[in-house]
Copies of this chain bind each other. A is one copy, B any other.
């Protein structure tokens, strides 16, 4: 829409039009000129500011130039400062002259009524509506950026509701209004002018399944909030009661950004002028305000934990108790998912990922329910979704989901800067196949969703060399107070062989791996080192990890000092050559602030100390981290997972606001 409107004049009869505050009227002075006219002058009443644009100069009227040549290069611009009290309150008169004649040969009279029409939202991102802002049509990133934010109203504020709050067209609780963004339509001016001028609020067809709008027709009763746009409704004619200058709307998001949705939605308020009865109304002014739907944001291990989730299943009572103790130290709550809910499915990391959404006026966590859909599948919707706890999922076609779609394969790095580009919310990390080697890959529907959130640009690693195929099997991040604020831990067969060889050289070749375990055959360091087949396979697994290591170094701009190699061996699984952890997978740990819950590796005991535990402490404790080794051998490790796979964490949102990112 233009903020300048072309207005036709007539020398036959006075004409009349509406001026909208903060716009310009450009008068068609030449078009109305009678034959023979060569010059004109222009005059206006006190409520009118008149300007003549001539040779690039803007002159306020009256000026020292009394007459102007009738020339298409001259523009006459009308502006007004305040809404009129009465219709046709102000006037502009253009008088036409022939040559040097003193009496005009014709006059054109234009009556003006000034109105204020403005559609406003929190475009300055302060938490309240910005009035009469400029450039509301553009949405820009960064600390100087402008543009309002909308939340997907995907929580369930009324416990008795069956579905999330944006699935119906009614308001069930006032709490729900706080999840929506305010939008105010101002219509100021003499009441009479609104009898033949109508304001219409409308959205485009492509936005109708992205947003919902409620009109507050009163404030006290829930049923006074009327659903007026979205879910099939494209246009709403706003009734203006005499004297009513403002209409309040509440806006909710229906959909997250995705492959075919940038996240931007526009609301338009159009002022229509009635013509004769037979002919349609004509649009004469349009105000547009753009919102961006807030992305779903993941939280890395460096953020403070709030709640730890763990499943209670047959035989894991000790494990649950260990997790409870660790959470107590870290000062966070524990939610235990009972057997009746989890149906013996302990892999709560894989079933969901807890992130959050944020607007200047409201922030709440949102659980992303993975398409894995194990026996735990109802837990996120039934138990995690709730008041101010949102829910989102993606349901790919049946038969397309693989183990790589479990969210143990979905992690996020701490904040990084890469080649000068800042990622203040980190980067998402997912595992994939290596493209030329046929194999498993996270479904496109989920990858598309993750990329579309934009603020944590994903990195795809190669995790399909593992039987389970999750990135959390070979990497994790731990907080650190120095350097970049974190370290990347990578599982390392090389480091493990090096450690074991040193121990052998020190005379401990007979020390036994899996000492004290009934369920696993014990094996000495020397025998382990002599197993050439296991060694060559671990060289291959190390190369797979190193391929990822090179990608992570490049994509997160890490140096060797940011990486710690954690001793680990893998073995090929029974009937494929894909890797499984040979002993409990150390990097698959639970990170709660500085407290680490680490799978107890059951390494060779040397001088009454597990040499693997000792090495890990030696690597991590200097960073100020506290290592607690938890026995997950029978309940998790033997089922191809460890502590990280068997827990989930809700963390505090970033203090950095996503809209302050510079793209």
Contact = CB atoms under 8 A, between A and B. Distances in A.
Interface of A: 1-6, 8, 26, 28, 30-32, 35, 72-73, 75, 200, 202, 204-206, 234-235, 259-260, 268, 270, 272-273, 275-276, 278-284, 434-437, 444, 462, 465, 492, 494-495, 498, 502, 505-506, 536-537, 539-540, 542-544, 546-547, 549-551, 553-554, 559-561, 565, 577
A494 B31 contact: yes
A6 B561 contact: no
A395 to B, nearest CB: 19
Candidate in A8, A200, A554 with the most chain B CB atoms within 10 angstroms: A8
Given A1-B551, A260-B259, A505-B35, A234 B8 contact: no
A366 to B, nearest CB: 26
Contacts of A8: 494, 542, 546
A24 B278 CA distance: 77
B275 A235 contact: no
Given A72-B561, A436-B235, A547 B280 contact: no
B202 A279 contact: no
Contact of A73 (B282, B437, B506, B561): B561
**Which applies to chain A's interface (DSSP): helix, strand, loop or mixed?**
mixed
A550 B5 contact: yes
A26 B638 CA distance: 36
A286 to B, nearest CB: 9
Given A6-B550, A435-B202, A565-B31, A275 B536 contact: yes
Contacts of A283: 434, 436, 462, 547
Nearest to A53: B559
Nearest to A10: B494
A554 B2 contact: yes
A6 B551 contact: no
A147 B506 CA distance: 57
Given A2-B551, A8-B494, A281-B437, 10 more contacts: A2-B550, A2-B554, A4-B553, A35-B505, A270-B435, A270-B436, A275-B539, A280-B465, A283-B462, A284-B547
A495 B31 contact: yes
Contacts of A200: 436
A137 to B, nearest CB: 11
Given A435-B202, A494-B8, A495-B31, A282 B553 contact: no
A560 B4 contact: no
A139 to B, nearest CB: 17
A447 to B, nearest CB: 10
Candidate in A28, A494, A505, A560 with the most chain B CB atoms within 10 angstroms: A560
Given A1-B551, A435-B204, A72 B279 contact: no
A544 B31 contact: no
Contacts of A542: 8
Nearest to A198: B436
Contacts of A437: 280-281
Given A28-B494, A550-B2, A202 B540 contact: no
